[in-house]
Amino acid sequence: MFRFPASVMPLSLRLLGTAAVVCSALSLVGCGGGSRAKEYQPQRAVVFGDENSALASYTLANGGYVVKGLVYTINPVAVTTVTTATCTDPSQTVNTLCDPANAITDATAFDVTAKATNPLGSGYHFPDGPPDTRTNLVTFIALGTATRPNNVQVPNAKLTTGVQYLCTSSANWSQVLVRSFSLGFRNDPNGCDKDYAGAVTYASNGWKVADVQQQVNAHLGELGEGVLVTVWVGQNDLYDLLVDPNYGTLDAKRYQAKLLAEQLAGSVKQIINSGARVILVGVADLGFSPYAVSQINSATTTDCDTGEHVTCNGDMQKLVADFNKTLKIGDKDTGLRGLQDYVYQGRQYAFVDAQAIVRSLATRPSYVKDKVYCESNLAADYPMMTPDGVKDNSSILYCNTNTYTGRGTSSVASTATYLWADNKRLGVAAHSTIGVSAYNRAANKF
């Protein structure tokens, strides 16, 4: 029926559900339109947008190794090795390993000396071993005291933990989409060496509609027949607009949201007219975001279009709805046209309604939406930390599957059940669902 790489299909299809592949349920532009002569296969993919579509890199302070393919949601990691050993030299330094002959195989606990700042120790990359197993592998080395059975204390010990950033796992929606076409970001400056080639992202953290307009203008010459272009932006504009004191009323803010959509529509028209195929994603339903909910006391209405009793910021939901509707079909009251003249060009562009998708997930009891996945409390045992191992909650880049809320307690965190990575950004469950929705549309209608 649909073609998916094995790494994408199990999680994505489980999250998507039967209803989500129905065209009307997704509110996709250009549904229907007859049969195709052949399967759609883009030659290249170009990505525009904000952090939802961006990749990043991090350079380790110790040695300068660059960890690539980081995403602005929950970064998937695997703990590959954990060893404890004593060192014969009490003046040991952190960046050396103990003799394996001194390994402690029955340690029950390890007290890290520098746990206040580096819970796992300091991160290094050792180039030994096959390249395919060393990509994005960070070895943490911690000095401390090991505890053996019967509470026997072993000083001058080292704990070594290998943490590998799994850059070929599809964590954000654009990775899900392009990898479904056997494309990837290997040649992107922030791309993973183990990824497919053929895709590039010009998306960046914090970007807004105006930033994407500039990027589209700068790279328009790269677009044309055979190129799949994705555009997803607007959430940062609307988060700022929600709390902007320069707009005295909600109506004034709603009008500004429509103007932003009209600006973005102009850039999308440029892309369509280049001959490229376009996947355009509407802003997600940010009314359910922990950030918007935290502003609920300032909202003029808490009424939300949910059909369920779920906490939501009604003002934010209205801003998102106005932005998406104007972008897709224009606005009669203001005369803004959006993309209404392109509404039947189902072979040229498709609109993915992320607002409807996130609203659906937010009203399902199986998803956690009242707290975020990433542990931002730096006093916690497993807080957010840089790939160097330093506690740091300043960026969602420092959130990974090893630093989740509730780790070390009876709470079991799963990336498949948390709707939000942090208070503003979606988790991988929503990213996966949106990515598969976009792929279904492109593969079956372009």
DSSP per residue over 55-80, as a string?
EEEEE-TTT--EEEEEESS-B-EEEE
Question: Which has the minimum average pLDDT: 44-48, 193-197, 351-355, 363-367?
Answer: 363-367
Judge whether 410 lies within some domain: yes
Q: Does residue 159 sit in the same domain as residue 175?
A: no
Q: Is the pLDDT of residue 37 over 60?
A: no
Judge whether 176 lies within some domain: yes
Rounded to an integer, the average pLDDT of 128-144 is 83
For residues 111-126, one letter each, b for 16 or more C-beta atoms within 10 angstroms of the residue's C-beta and e for the rest, the string is ebebeeebbbbbbbbe
Rounded to an integer, the average pLDDT of 126-139 is 79
Q: Does residue 209 sit in the same domain as residue 146?
A: no
CA 262, 360, 279, 175 dihedral sign is: positive
Q: Does residue 273 sit in the same domain as residue 378?
A: yes
| Residue 387 or 3, more confident | 387
Rounded to an integer, the average pLDDT of 124-145 is 84
Judge whether 62 lies within some domain: no
Q: Which two tokens stand for residue 192?
A: 């993973």
* Most confident range, picked from 48-57, 143-152, 344-353: 48-57
Would you place residue 96 in the very low, low, confident or very high pLDDT band (cuts 50, 70, 90)? confident
pTM of the model: 0.88
What length does the chain have?
446
Question: Which has the minimum average pLDDT: 28-42, 43-57, 83-97, 361-375?
Answer: 28-42
End-of-domain residue from the set 143, 165, 187:
165
End-of-domain residue from the set 131, 165, 199:
165
Residues 6 or more apart in contact with residue 242 via CB below 8 angstroms = 253, 292, 295, 313, 315, 316, 319
Judge whether 1 lies within some domain: no
Rounded to an integer, the average pLDDT of 425-432 is 96
pLDDT digits (tens, 9 = 90+) for 153-191: 998 899 999 999 999 998 999 999 999 999 999 999 999
Neighbours of 100 (CB within 10 A): 8
Q: Does residue 82 sit in the same domain as residue 174?
A: no
Answer whether 231's CB lies under 8 Å from 264's CB: yes
Identify residue 303 by its one-letter amino acid code: D
pLDDT of residue 311: 87
Dihedral (C-alpha) 144, 145, 147, 150: value to the nearest 10 degrees?
Answer: -170
In percent, the amount of the chain with pLDDT more than 70 equals 88
In 3D space, the residue among 198, 146, 145, 166 whose CA is nearest the CA of residue 71 turns out to be 166
pLDDT of residue 12: 40
The total of structural domains in the chain comes to 2
Q: Does residue 222 sit in the same domain as residue 343?
A: yes
pLDDT of residue 370: 83
Q: Does residue 87 sit in the same domain as residue 129?
A: yes
Q: Which two tokens stand for residue 16?
A: 């998507």
CA 418, 424, 430, 436 dihedral sign is: negative
Q: Is the pLDDT of residue 41 over 60?
A: yes
Would you place residue 15 in the very low, low, confident or very high pLDDT band (cuts 50, 70, 90)? very low
Judge whether 67 lies within some domain: no
Residues 6 or more apart in contact with residue 11 via CB below 8 angstroms = 416, 428, 429, 432
Judge whether 70 lies within some domain: no
Q: Is the pLDDT of residue 321 over 90?
A: yes
Judge whether 375 lies within some domain: yes
What is the CA 248 to chain-centroid distance, rounded? Answer: 33
Q: Is the pLDDT of residue 33 over 50?
A: no
Q: Is the pLDDT of residue 151 over 90?
A: yes
Domain that holds residue 122: 77-165
Rounded to an integer, the average pLDDT of 320-343 is 96
CA distance 47 to 239: 22
CA distance 350 to 267: 15
Mean pLDDT, the chain, integer = 87
Q: Does residue 340 sit in the same domain as residue 260?
A: yes
Q: Does residue 319 sit in the same domain as residue 382?
A: yes
pLDDT of residue 309: 64
pLDDT of residue 9: 39
Which ranges in 21-108 belong to alpha helices (H)?
23-26
Q: Does residue 187 sit in the same domain as residue 159?
A: no
Q: Does residue 161 sit in the same domain as residue 181?
A: no
CA distances from 372 to 1, 291, 369, 376, 420 (A): 35, 10, 7, 9, 5
What is the CA 340 to chain-centroid distance, rounded? Answer: 30
Q: Is the pLDDT of residue 333 over 90?
A: yes
pLDDT digits (tens, 9 = 90+) for 393-414: 999 999 999 888 766 554 556 7
Judge whether 2 lies within some domain: no
Question: Which has the minimum average pLDDT: 82-86, 126-130, 364-368, 388-392?
Answer: 126-130
pLDDT digits (tens, 9 = 90+) for 345-381: 778 999 999 999 999 999 998 898 888 999 888 888 7
Q: Does residue 127 sit in the same domain as residue 184?
A: no
pLDDT digits (tens, 9 = 90+) for 210-249: 999 999 999 999 999 999 999 999 999 999 999 999 998 9
Q: Does residue 383 sit in the same domain as residue 366?
A: yes
End-of-domain residue from the set 115, 138, 165:
165
The values of phi and psi at residue 275, to 5°, are 100, -5
